[in-house]
Amino acid sequence: MAAERIAENKRGVLGWINPHNCNAERWAYTFQRITGVAVLLYVLGHLGDTSFFVGGPIGAGPSESSWAFISGIVENSFGHLILVMVVLVVTFHGINGVRLILAEFGVIFRKPSAIEYPYRPKGLGVGQKAMFVGAIALAVIAALMAWWILFEGPL
Amino acid sequence: MKDFTLAVQRFDPSTDQKPSLDEFPVLFREGMTVLDAILQARDYADHSIALRYSCRQASCGSCGMKINGRPRLACYTQIAELKSERVVVQPMDNFPIIRDLVTDLSGFFEMHSALLPRILRSDESEMENPTAEYLMSPEQLDRIHQFTYCIKCGLCTSSCPTVGTDSDFPGPQALAQAYRYTMDVRDEGGAERFQLLDTQHGVFRCHYAGSCSAVCPKGVDPALGIQLLKRHVMSARPPRAKGEGAKVWKKEP
Amino acid sequence: MRESRLMLIQYVTAAAAVVLVALHLLLQGVLVPYETAISFGTVLASYRSIFSILFLEVLLVVVLVHGFNGVRIILQELRQTLAWGRWVDLGTVLAIVISVGYGTRTILLAVLVGPSA
């Protein structure tokens, strides 16, 4: 059984993370997946907590007490820390996603042509790495802004 | 560089429960490749090491394997460039292991064939009994030239994260060759290929991780080909319909 | 539906989500101070503005369609049996319908019903 699985030799889900093929696009792919799932989980939670504006799952209309109740649970340091992290991952996912859309429409690549050694793939390279780093940078900036707003002051 | 240790993964699925690493001291010489090291170990220490190799010049694609964690051709990787006193060689990921460093590429070739890697045209009589050449300008060749360099070594498919989980995904090699043939001005088979590519496990399961282009030893850059292919598949307009392929060109007498 | 159509939906919702989520974040803390933005009165007022209602509904649909389609793609890659594929597709549609339904319920109740204590 175990020997058969080893013989099949598929990397599996762990292969989605691979430190040996260190090209920037591979890291971007891994982070895009992780941040995507994380954002979706947050959004589902957010749907839940915002529904307390109308009294929650069993509510019947806007209710100030119900809103105060949920605010008491989420509006604290831990909740704000979660929000800062959500801003971080959402911004990365969005900016990297824009890079992916442009790439998958072939807009940001130079045309294929005859190639010479040493081979520098047009599909990868400085532009892609720059956009990936840019996405991380913008995400960190957005998270710092969120920290400033939510914790009312610098770090 | 000093002498170093070569660690070779040994695994025979018919007798072993799990792989093991056998270590061999190797005498280094200038210009030594990983293939040279494995052959030295096989010739002088353990004749039972199983590996595939042929041309020794990065032309046949036989000696693909994982060297210090990264898919590379053994004949094309200098020991000196690894900058390590321990060289670990393992079979390529994502291919079934036959024994030791030898993997089963039959599924890989089937995926390649399934995407119709040949010129498809309506004028079969001309193709079977050619009277002249098909006209293709140097600029038209340039657009597919790099993709024709594929030696089917399997390194790209080995490094692809999607291939690691999705056994119905054709892999970067097959998809890049699908692009190569679809964009060939002589080909009229775009519509047939698009039907195979526009499926749940087709071209859109590529997420542009780019590892295929990072490991390709011949500069094929499959990631580029696949992203350009996606645009065509999404538009559902093949470049050429039947009868619109490059014309036969007869030289003036 | 062809996979290329589903991917087009993914890209269109992605582009829309970038704009709408950015606007949502700006309106909830940058252009309007955060404490004010989350107060009961401000939120109630936003449910009285047609622009705001439409904005929230579109944001809801775009983000959930994009998110669940993304999860569908990830799950499809994990196993390749026909049954798994069908269950994942069905699960995705159900998840979208249920979550969009729940969010729309919140919006409708907030818009149509008067506030209480």
Give the residue from chain C lying closest to B235, CA to CA.
C4
Nearest to B166 among C2, C6, C80 (CB): C80
The answer to whether B203 and B226 have CB atoms below 8 angstroms apart is yes
Contact A94 C70 (CB under 8 A): no
Q: Can you tell me the mean pLDDT for A19-25?
A: 74
Q: What is the mean pLDDT of residues A61-74?
A: 92
Question: Pick from B96, B216, B219: which is nearest to A9 by CB?
Answer: B96
Between CA B29 and CA B17 the distance in angstroms is 36
CATH class of B106-249: mainly alpha
Could you tell me if residue A30 is inside a domain? yes
**Rounded Cα distance, A104 and A123, in Å:** 11
Give mean pLDDT, residues B100-117.
Answer: 96
C117 inside domain: no
From the CA atom positions of chain B, what is the Rg in Å? 21
Per-residue pLDDT of C64-88, as tens digits, reads 999 999 999 999 999 999 999 999 9
Would A46 be classed as within a structural domain?
A: yes
Round to whole Å and give the CA distance between B222 and A112: 11
Please name the residues between 201 and 230 in chain B that touch chain C, using a CB distance below 8 Å. 201-202, 204-205, 230
Q: Which CATH number goes with the domain that contains A54?
A: 1.20.1300.10
First to last CA, chain C: 47
User: What is the C-alpha to C-alpha distance for residues A142 and A90, in angstroms, rounded to an integer?
Assistant: 10
Residue C75 lies in a domain: yes
Look at the block and give the residue holding tokens 């989500």. C17
Question: 């605010």: which residue's tokens?
Answer: A71
Domain membership flag for residue A63: yes
Looking at the partner chain, which of B162, B166, B234 has a beta carbon nearest the beta carbon of C4? B234
CATH code assigned at C42: 1.20.1300.10
Overall number of domains in chain A: 1
For the domain made up of B4-103, the CATH class stated in words is alpha beta
Interface predicted TM-score of the whole assembly (ipTM), two decimals: 0.93
Q: What is d(CA A2, CA A4) in angstroms, rounded to the nearest whole number?
A: 5
Question: Does A4 fall in a domain?
Answer: no
**Partner residue opposite C70 with nearest CB, options A36, A59, A142:** A36
Q: Do B161 and A29 touch (CB under 8 A)?
A: yes
Q: Does A124 touch chain C (CB under 8 A)?
A: no
Q: In which band, very low, low, confident or very high, does the pLDDT at C117 lie, cut at 50, 70 and 90?
A: low
Contact C78/B at CB under 8 A: yes
pLDDT of residue B1: 57
The pLDDT of residue B248 is 86
Cβ-contact B40, B29 below 8 angstroms: no
**Predicted TM-score of the model (pTM):** 0.92
Tell me which of A29, A40, A71, A83 to substitute to probe the interface with C (most C C-beta atoms closer than 10 Å). A40
Chain C environment of A60 (Cβ under 8 Å): 109, 113
Q: Nearest CA of chain B to the CA of C48: how many Å?
A: 41
To 10 degrees, what angle do helices A77-104 and A126-151 make?
Answer: 160
Q: Tell if the CB–CB gap between A37 and C71 is shorter than 8 Å.
A: yes
The label of the residue with tokens 């909830």 reads C28
Nearest beta carbon to residue B146 from set A15, A32, A115:
A115
Which pLDDT belongs to residue A128?
83
CA B155 – CA A151 distance, rounded (Å): 49
- In this structure, are residues B62 and B54 in contact, taking their beta carbons and an 8 Å threshold? yes
CA distance C59 to A126: 34
Sign for the pseudo-dihedral over CA of A99, A105, A107, A111: positive
> In the B/C pair of chains, how many CB contacts fall below 8 A?
34
* Reduced DSSP (H G I as helix, E B as strand, rest coil) percent helix, strand, coil of chain B, to 5: 35, 15, 50
Q: Would residue A61 count as lying in a domain?
A: yes
Residue in chain B closest to A17 (alpha carbons) equals: B161
Out of B91-100, C31-40, C52-61, pick the least confident.
Answer: C31-40
DSSP code string of A21-81: S--HHHHHHHHHHHHHHHHHHHHHHHHHHHGGGGTGGG--S-BHHHHHHHHHHHSSHHHHH
**C105: contact with A, CB 8 A cutoff:** yes
Sign of CA pseudo-dihedral B225, B231, B234, B240:
negative
Residue A13 is assigned to a structural domain of this protein: no
Domain span at residue A88 reads 24-107+119-151
Return the percentage of chain A with pLDDT > 70, whole number: 95
CB B61 within 8 A of CB B153: yes
Average pLDDT value for residue range A117-130: 82
Residue A65 belongs to a domain: yes
In angstroms, how far is CA B137 from the centroid of its own chain? 27
CA distance C58 to B61: 52
The yes-or-no verdict on residue A155 having pLDDT over 60 is: no
What is the pLDDT at residue A19? 66
Q: Secondary structure of chain C: what % helix, strand, coil (to 5)?
A: 85, 0, 15
Closest among B167, B58, B149 to B110, alpha carbons compared: B167
Report pLDDT for B140. Answer: 94
**Residue count (chain C):** 117
Domain span holding position C76: 3-112
How many structural domains are present in chain C?
1
A partners (3+ CB pairs within 8 A) are B, C
- Sign of the torsion angle spanned by Cα atoms A60, A66, A71, A72: negative
| pLDDT tens sequence across B121-146 | 998 888 899 888 898 999 999 999 99
- Beta carbons of C80 and B162 less than 8 Å apart: no
Strand pairing report for B64-67 and B86-90 = antiparallel
Instruction: Provide the shortest C-alpha distance from residue C84 to chain B (in Å).
Output: 12
Note whether residue C12 is domain-resident: yes
- Which SS3 state, helix, strand or coil, does residue B88 take? strand
A-to-C residue pairs, Cβ atoms closer than 8 angstroms: 98
Q: Do B205 and C2 touch (CB under 8 A)?
A: no
**Distances in Å between the alpha carbon of C25 and those of A47, A83, A104, A146, C18?**
15, 11, 27, 9, 11
CB atoms within 10 A of CB B81: 11
C:46-75 residues touching chain B, CB 8 A cutoff: 73
Which residues are registered as beta bridge partners of B133? B249
Domain assignment present for residue C70? The answer is: yes
**Which of the other chains make 3 or more beta carbon contacts under 8 angstroms with chain B?**
A, C
Cα(A48)–Cα(A50) distance, integer angstroms: 6
On whether the CB atoms of residues B20 and B41 are closer than 8 A, the answer is no
How sure is the predictor about C116, in pLDDT bands with cuts at 50, 70 and 90?
confident
The whole-angstrom distance between A147's CA and the closest CA on chain C is 11
Q: Do B200 and C77 touch (CB under 8 A)?
A: no
